[in-house]
Structure formats: structure tokens, C-alpha cells
Structure 1
Amino acid sequence: MKKLPIGIDDFKKIKEEGYYYVDKSLFIKEIIDESAEVILLARPRRFGKTLNLSMLHYFFEKRIKDGDNIDLFQGLKIKDAEQRYLEKQNKYPIIHLDFKDVKANNWSNCFANLKRIIAKEYKRHSYLLDAGLLLEYEEKEYREIMDLSANLNAYQFSLKNLSEHLSQYHQQKVMILIDEYDQAIKSGYMNGFYEEVVGFMRSLLSGGLKSNPNLAKGVLTGILRVAKESIFSGLNNLVVNTLLDKEYDKYFGLLELEVKDILDYYNLNYKSNEVKEWYNGYSFGENIVYNPWSIMTCIRKEGELKPYWINTSGNELIRKLVIEGDSEVKGDLELLIQGKTVKKKIDENIVFGDIDKKGSSLWSFLLLSGYLRAKNKYMEEARLYCDLDIPNKEVKYIYEEIILNWFEDKITSQNLKLMLKSLTTGDIETFTVVFKEFVINSMSSFDVGGDEPEKVYHAFVLGLLLNLRDRYKVKSNRESGYGRYDVMIIPENKSKLGIVIEFKKLNQHQNEDLETAVNAALKQIEERNYAQELLSQGVTGVLEIGMAFSGKQVKVKSKNINK
């Protein structure tokens, strides 16, 4: 039985050492047929981008030594392609830069990482130094890049210069392969050096890919498309392909039949339905695909179903966006966790700096990075809209863990249990004390105005949704713009209390105080007859709770209704 290639993304190693390989070699044919000079393939992490670029590398590279790698492709679909495709094998000098491991907390460390990656590729082509083609200053700069002593300008133009040297030596245009081009940019966004890293990457990539007479083709991968004006300024020869496009859709992730073959091979076909619920659901173009990392790891664990992607895909950014998102984001997240869809305008031209500022950028990022699925997509007035949902159990688990971990940061486990117990048993006095502590700990010390209080109350409801899900159904309804928000907690055991909570934000323009506001909240519950809805479902007792809030101040009142 073949070994599983978990964490192995070197095509040659997989083929030579007999690992299980899903044949995606016709991707090579698609790249050859691509009319664009430069193509950016944007897909989520761990969906086969690095392995596909490695395959391109071994197929196209014109080797100086160690053979031609022809045997690696024996038995694969590409070998049955027309001769005009096979003639491209081992034809091009290759520049291959892999930025997927560039993670740094400041620009100095990030630049040091980038320098090492570029230096490694220069060393791989160090035979150029013995060819007698480089001018004295070019040879000096080449050696300085390799020993990491070159200046910033030299590294910015390193891609362009190396392509020129290789083309001159081989008398052949160069293919440039760049993996996870936006990883360093993401680090910059997360750690406060966004402008520096964007400036560097713009110079590096534009130099190698824009109007470069030595370029045969460039293939880049990343998570985001990223607006042309932010990175690929003036790069008119660039075509961008995202998971919303049907081109290349079958080459990233695992298709249904491919997963069936894998499960059959490892005698786990009886798990197919459960595996589908956990790891299927990603929509790439016209195909529904599985997460390959999770599938391979699940098989290695003999079919144990659990979240495997959670520790691999940079969830720190997702956590930041979910926790810091405004009340509308948290309200939409409630709907998503309950299995519903949300309609959002999608902007494929994302700028990292706008993700937490523009709603369309946030939802586009979550979609393009694999944390949401486009269940339906359609155009309205030349704008793309999608009905978004959570693709599978694994991704739902990630959202749930983010929320639950945030709760644990704001309230001790003991107090969380006390708050939930006092709420569900009707001990409003205890609940109020613990809830007020939660509000104070959750709210920013510097921003108690604006949307901040509502964000906290939405987060509280998300916590209720997850912490009570085994015993209660939690329904919520928000009235955008009115500062009102109601929650209904319906017990599975009808002898337990049903609970209705009405949140009301203080209207200071009407000189409203907390007492007036909390009474208005209780009156709202009465007028809308929420208690009757619960009683009609067989619940024997209903607790009505009004909550009024202004900044960190909150007032709670309650009323019991019995059948």
C-alpha cells in the first residue's frame, strides 16, 4: 500500500518514493495552452498549489545536470497528450520562488526571509558565475545577493536580472514560478509593515513580469487576487483565475471521484458519507471539491473525523476579522453558523489593507480563502453577488472555536457556566452580576461608543448559540438601525424555561435613560407576543428579559410568564 504524501509537496519526491499521487498532470497542458503571458492562480492554502508548481518546475526545466526528469511523468495523463505539448518538456530555464513560509512580526525579519529565498534561487543557478557572461559589476552583485549582503535595490531587481542572465546563458526565454506570492503581504498586514512589504513585492514582481523580454511565461499562486494597482501596477499581460472561475477548477482540491478512489484504495469507502459532510463543499468554478490536506490526514488516522485544516491555514487572520468585525458581521455569522446563507457583494480585487474596512472585502476574503462557499452567484447591475454559506463541518468548527476561545478570554470557565446556568434557571440576580462583568471585560477601554457595545452583545448571542446548542435552539432577530435585537432561547425539554431577551441601545438623542430603555425593551417583548410563540410550542414557562445598554453600562429586568 502506498504511503500518504502528508506535508510533502515536492513532485519528484512523491513520484520517486512511491507516494500516493492524484494525477493532475493535465494542468501542464492547460498552462501551455494559456494565451496570457502571466497567470495568477488564487486558491486557499493546502489545496495543492505548491505541488502543482513543483510539477510544472520538473516538467519544464531545462536541466544542467542530474538528468531530464522525463521518467517522473511516465504513466501520467500528460504523456498521452499531443507531441506539441511534450516538446515543451525540459525546454525552459526556471526561476522558482516559494514564499509560503515567510512569517515575520516586523519588516526587518520579513526582508531577511525574502533575501534568503532569493539567495537560494541564485545559488541554484550559480553555474552562471563560471560562464563568463556576467559583467564585473553583475558578478559582484550576484555574489552579494547569494551571501545576503546586497542592498535593497539589488533584491528588488533580482527577479528581472536573474531572468536576463538565464536567458542569455540558455538562449531561451525563462519561466518564472512564484508560490504564495501574498504570504509576506499578509504578514505585513497583520504586523504593521504592510506598506514596506507591498512596496518591495511590487518592485520585485513588476521587474520580473512586466514588459520583460526574457519571460516565456509566469505562473503565480496565492490566496487572494489582490487589486492590480496595489501590486501588479501596469501589468497588462496578467490573467487572474480564482476559485469562482471554471478554468483550472479541477486541478486544485480533490474531486468526488478522486476521493472515492482514495477511500477505496485505503479500504475506507464505508466512511464516504461522513467524509463528505466534514471535508467536501468547496465550490471551485463548476466543481465541488474536497480539502486534500484533510482527506489525506483523515485517511492516515484511519478515518477519524476531526478538523485537520484548523492548524494549517493561518487562522490568526480569520480570528482577527471575526472578533473585530462590527455588529453586522457578527449578526451574519450567527446566520451562517445556523446553516443559513447571507447575500453579499463580492469584490475579487481585494486590497489587504481594506479587509477590515470594507464589508465586501471581508466577505470576499473569507470566500476566496476557503472559509465560505458561493452557493449561488449572480450579477446585479454589473456587480457580482453571492449567496454565501459555510462549506462543511470542518470550517464550521473553526468559526465555533474562534468564538468559544474568545469567550474563554473574556470570562472564566467557572463564570461562564454560572452565567449560563443562572440564565437558563431564571436566577436573574446572579446572571446580571456575571453578565455585567462579561460586558466590562469584553468592551474596549477606549471605544465604548459607536458600534462597540453592539459588537459585544452580538458576540454574547453567538456564545449562547454555541454553548447551549445541545439543549436549546437559539433564534435571533435584529432590526438594523433601530438599536434593537431580540433572542429567543427554546428548550428541547419543554419543562425547562423558555427565554426571550430584548436588547435595546440607549437613545441619547431622546434623553432616554437606562430605566426607560429597559422598560421599553420589556414592553417590546409583550407587544410582539413572543411568550405566546414559546407557549404554543409546549414550553410551560417563559422568562422575558429586557436589557438596556449604554457603553459599558447595562440594566437588566425580567418578567415570568407561565402557561
Structure 2
Amino acid sequence: MDLYFVKFLWTTFACLDVRNTIALHEKGGAYAESDFRDLVSLERPFVDKTELIKEIMSNDARVTLIVQPHRFGKSLTLSMLQYFLDKRKAPPNTTDLFNGLKISEDRGFCETYKNRFPVIHFSFRDVNATDFKTAESAVYSIIQQQFKEHSYLLTNNSLNFFSSLQVGMIMNGTSSLETVRNGIFSLCDFLGNVKKLIKENIAVILLVDDYDTPLRAAYMNNYLPEMSRLLSNVLSCLTTSPFVKKGIITGLYSISSGDIFPKRSTKIISVFNDQKIPYFGFTAPEVKNLLQGISSNVGMKDLGEWYGLDSPVTKYNPWSVLCCLANKGALAPYWVRSSDSRLVSNLLSLIGVSEAVSLIYLVQGGIIEKSVHRSVRFEALTSEAEYFWTVLVHGGYLSANFVKEDSSRKIYSLVIPNFEIKNEINHWCRTRLSEAVRKTTGKLAEFVKNTMHGEVEKIMDFLLECMQKTGIYYNFENPAHLGRYYTYYTALFTPLRDYYKITESQTEKNVNMRRRRCYSFVLEPKNYSTVGIIMEIEGANISTDMKKTAEMVLKRMKNDELSPHILTVCGKVLAIGMAFYRQNFEFSYDLIGAQVL
């Protein structure tokens, strides 16, 4: 590969992660460059994403939270913002890096924002300790380093005696922990409380990278409450400081732990809205431009199948595309092998068979519908299965399209977007699921066969085994939470969708003189020689009531008007009433023939 091609890829600005713009090692590997100036200064072609600056600075939100998968451009975006906004980066201190770029075409915007602000820029990337004390020390070191970077405050006569003393003590490590904890707030005060800046209505820009890394590490190591409180203190300036104009924060997840960001003045750029904000990932025209002049056998179709992020393909995984081109068009897993997947691995070892079945179905090319949240609650990861899917969507492993809103929950259709991720998730299913889940999902083919043949006892044995071995993940302790059983079985029936049209329903019925929400499933076979199934579920107050409750449910089903369509098209239909108590159930059933109509 010639030198020009190496430098071309090295300088490709794709709004990638700090580690995301690559060059080649002598042995064909890739390394990364982090600084926007280094990327632009070689004056090679690159993908111009500078209009993102206007998108961020023109919105009214006090905080812009950029939530994107790893290696999608978050860190390099902050580097770009610093060079554009920081008054210390103005020429002649730094050459004009934006001359000729898209953002320079808007002269009015540049006159208003370019190199006008005091900027604080730091990253929490390395705060991933296994204990709180070590993590706290790492956070304090970051704050101390920020004061050292702005040590010019001690010499430009902008501080009074006591403020100068505070800056000096934080820099040399002699201040109290409380003073350091509030150090970023104080630094914003010192930088923004300057007569000239106040007169010009100019305040501090705060750039914080990888804000959620400390929180993820805290969750994995059981000190999440302490870390949430610490970050809320450290970043309190985002909500209360009059000297902060705007905060731009990046992370892998939007996390709902603590009150770090102002609830009413935070704009989130995430996988849920980035179709309208095409600054993260490569668009199809950008990939075509990269392919021009490059000697490679790989084409747009190949890149779309391996690294596309949606269907039809309009966006591409930037890290994988660049790695592929840098390796002479070799289609291989690049992005999935570059991430810290400890959180996902931890969840895979905890999930139950319902989620495992859905993963297997996705690998087989299926599409599932799940409730997905805009933010992650770490406290609920091990008790509410929908947060498992939330982590996968935010992490970039699944693409999500909004379907409907159901009982205040947003339902999305989920699909594996490309070959690279499909192979990785298939690897998860083979190696990372718990032993109990692997053993249970190994019986799926037998479960499907028994269902099609109407072998009720065998069907129920399988369902009961699933619940007793892996149901603890779903927190079935409260019998009032009947919806959790409904969600569980909706996923567990996923492999049957190749053979049945499955209709799930929630209806209000009179049960024991009271209106109650009832949950049912209708499995209409695509091959009408197969047995059809109508199932309704109910909760029992105590375990000894399960059998009686199941019989009552079946009787109610037979008294109600069963689906006339399925009774017409199927020779035989199983009506099954089920009653649950925690991780157990009883059932009652009857085989109904078409002749009863």
C-alpha cells in the first residue's frame, strides 16, 4: 500500500471516537489518532462533519448529551468543538483548521462562535476502577489536571487573593476533598467571572467525554450510589452555574442514575434520533467518496451487508468501513472486537431463556418487537428484561424502529443490522449464555415439534423448566405483575412464529365481579393440519390456588366466544388456561374440534 493511501485513511475525519481514525501498522493492523488538528493538518481528503458544530451550538438546550455506540465519533467531535470554540485556540496560537470546511461557509455563525469562549475539556475514560476509593481518586486527579491546564488564571490578574489561593491548593494537592469535588464548578466561576466576558455575555463551554464510564464501572463493582452522587457533585455546574453557557457531554448510554443533567434543558442525540442528525456514522455518499480512487475489490453492496446500520442501508459503521479499506477490502469483524463488552457479557450470563430465544431468532434473520427505553437504569438491569434490549440498542448491536406506544411503553421492532454483528451475537449464544439457558434453549426444536403436534404435557414440561431454571431474572415474585408473564411468553413463543401466526392480546374482563386485565395468546397455524392453540393466563394469590384458578380460566374461556376464525380453519384447537404463582404454574386444557361450531 502506498504512502498516500495510508495517509489518506489516517486523515479521514469521520467524527469517529478518539481511537477511531486509523492508519496501518507495518503488519497491517490499525492504530488511532485522537486530535482534530492532527487529522486536518496533513491536508488530505476527509469526511467533513463540521456542520455538527452549528447543530449543537444553535439549539437552546443548556446540555447536549451525545449518546452513540463506541467508535462512532463522540470523542473526536469534542476535539473538533474545542478547536472551534476555545479562545485559546484562535490564530496565531493555532492555525485556522476550519478554513475551507463546511462550517466556514456560514460567516455569521463563525463570527459569533469561533474561538470566543473559555473551554473546559476532559474525559472520564480511564475512571473504571474496581472500588470507589480508587475511582474517586482518579476523578480528583482529572479535576486537578484541569486547574493546571488553566494555571494562567494565576498570572492574568483575574482572580482575587482567596480564589488564587484555592486554585494553587487544588493544583498542588493540598486542598480539602470537598473543595476538589466542587472544583469544576469553581473553575467555571473563575473562567466566566471576568469583566470582559460578562460584558460580552460570553460564558464557559464544558466538554466532558465518556461521562458514563465511571457509572458502568461502578455498577459492575457494586458502588453505583456513591459514584452517582460524586458525579452529580462534580458536574453540578451544568445545572446551577450562571457561568456555563453550554455543556456537551458524550457517553455510550443515557443513564438515569442521579440528577447529573438538567431534566428540562438537555437535548439528547442518540440512536433514536440520529436519522435526522447524520453526523455519526458514514452515509452512503460518504462511503462512495471513500471508495473513489482506492484499489479494492470491495463494493457498496459488500460494505452494506457487513457494516450497514439499517435497512435499506443508509448509514455505515465508520470504524469497520475504515478498517476494511485499510486492510485492502478484507471483510472481517473489526468494530465488535474493539469494544469493552464487559457489561454485555455480564448481562448475557444473567438473562433467562426468553431473551436467549429471542437472540437466537434474531440470528436466524427474524425481527422481534420489544419495549426499549431512551435511558438505562442500572438498578433494573437484573430485574426488568426490557433493559437488556435497551443496552443492546444503545450499544449499537441492534437497530430499532418505532412501532407503537403500549401502556406508556414504547415498542420497537429490533433486528440485527449486518453480518459483522450477526456473527458476534451468534458467538454470544454459543459461548456466553449461562449453562442453564444453553441447556434449555437446546430443546427448542423439540418444543416446536411438540407444539405443532399438540402434545400439551410435553409443552408444559418445557415451559415449566424454563421458568424454574431461568425465571429468577424476570422477578416473578409479585403475582399482580401478570404483565411480566405475558412479556416472558411473548418472547418464548418467538421460534413458533415460523409456523404460527401469533396474536397477543390484553383485554378487560369481569373476573369475580371485578374488572381485570386479561392476557391471551392465539396461535393460528400456517399449515392448517397443525393444531391451533388459544391460551389465557391468570395469576394465583397463593400456590395452592393455582390448579383451581387454571380450571376457572379454562371455564371462562369456553364460556367466552373463542376465536371463530381459528376454530373454522383448524381441525383441532387446544384451549389452555394457565395460573401462575412466582416461578410455577398449573394448567387446565381441553381439545376442541371444529365440529363443535
The two structures have a TM-score, normalised by structure 2, of 0.66
User: CA distance change for structure 1 residues 391 and 86 in 2, over 3 Å: closer, same or farther?
Assistant: farther
Matched, 1:3 2:32: no
Contact 2:9–2:322 (Cα < 8 Å) also in 1: no
Distance in 1 between residues matched to 2:82 and 2:505, nearest whole Å: 55
| Paired residue secondary structure (2:206) | strand
Larger mean CA deviation between 456-465 and 56-65 belongs to: 456-465
In the TM superposition, residue 96 of structure 1 has moved relative to its aligned partner by 0.1
User: Of 284, 287, 292, which aligns to 2:318?
Assistant: 292
User: Of 96, 115, 119, which aligns to 2:144?
Assistant: 119
Q: How does 1:12-411 map to 2 (within 5 A)?
A: 12-16=37-41, 21-31=46-56, 34=58, 36=60, 38-46=62-70, 47-63=72-88, 68-70=93-95, 72-82=97-107, 85=110, 89-128=114-153, 138=163, 141-142=166-167, 144-146=169-171, 150-166=175-191, 174-185=204-215, 187-188=217-218, 192-207=222-237, 210-213=240-243, 215=244, 217-222=246-251, 230-232=259-261, 238=265, 240-243=267-270, 249-264=277-292, 266=294, 267=296, 270-272=299-301, 275=304, 279-281=308-310, 289-297=315-323, 299=325, 302=329, 304=331, 308-309=335-336, 312=339, 316=343, 320=347, 338-339=366-367, 373-375=400-402, 388-390=412-414, 392-394=416-418, 397=422, 404=429, 408-411=433-436
Distance in 2 between residues matched to 1:384 and 1:528, nearest whole Å: 28
Contact 2:229–2:258 (Cα < 8 Å) also in 1: no
| Paired residue secondary structure (2:249) | strand
Which blocks of at least 5 consecutive residues in structure 1 are unaligned?
none
Q: Which residue of 2 aligns with 1:517?
A: 550
The AA in structure 2 aligned to 1:114 is: V
The AA in structure 2 aligned to 1:97 is: F
Distance in 2 between residues matched to 1:212 and 1:280, nearest whole Å: 40
In the TM superposition, residue 154 of structure 1 has moved relative to its aligned partner by 1.7
Distance in 2 between residues matched to 1:511 and 1:150, nearest whole Å: 64
Contact 1:180–1:221 (Cα < 8 Å) also in 2: yes
Contact 1:59–1:69 (Cα < 8 Å) also in 2: no
In the TM superposition, residue 54 of structure 1 has moved relative to its aligned partner by 0.6
The two structures have a TM-score, normalised by structure 1, of 0.69
Distance in 2 between residues matched to 1:166 and 1:126, nearest whole Å: 11
Distance in 2 between residues matched to 1:300 and 1:556, nearest whole Å: 59
Distance in 2 between residues matched to 1:275 and 1:295, nearest whole Å: 9
Distance in 2 between residues matched to 1:142 and 1:20, nearest whole Å: 43
Contact 2:546–2:580 (Cα < 8 Å) also in 1: no
Distance in 2 between residues matched to 1:454 and 1:138, nearest whole Å: 57
| Paired residue secondary structure (2:282) | coil
User: CA distance change for structure 1 residues 406 and 473 in 2, over 3 Å: closer, same or farther?
Assistant: farther
Compute the RMSD of aligned alpha carbons: 6.0
Which blocks of at least 5 consecutive residues in structure 2 are unaligned?
11-20, 23-31, 198-202, 507-516
| Paired residue secondary structure (1:68) | coil
Distance in 2 between residues matched to 1:365 and 1:416, nearest whole Å: 22
The AA in structure 1 aligned to 2:233 is: S
Q: Which residue of 1 aligns with 2:472?
A: 444
In the TM superposition, residue 23 of structure 1 has moved relative to its aligned partner by 0.5
Contact 2:154–2:164 (Cα < 8 Å) also in 1: yes
The AA in structure 2 aligned to 1:240 is: K
Contact 1:521–1:548 (Cα < 8 Å) also in 2: no
Q: Deviations over 1:439-471 (max 9, x none)?
A: 3221339855527898578557645635x88xx
| Paired residue secondary structure (1:219) | strand
- How many residue pairs get matched? 540
| Paired residue secondary structure (1:159) | helix
| Paired residue secondary structure (2:49) | coil
Distance in 2 between residues matched to 1:415 and 1:327, nearest whole Å: 10
Contact 2:129–2:217 (Cα < 8 Å) also in 1: yes
Q: Deviations over 1:126-182 (max 9, x none)?
A: 455566766676556445544666433222321233234446799655432222434
Percent of residue pairs bearing the same amino acid type? 21
Distance in 1 between residues matched to 2:135 and 2:311, nearest whole Å: 32
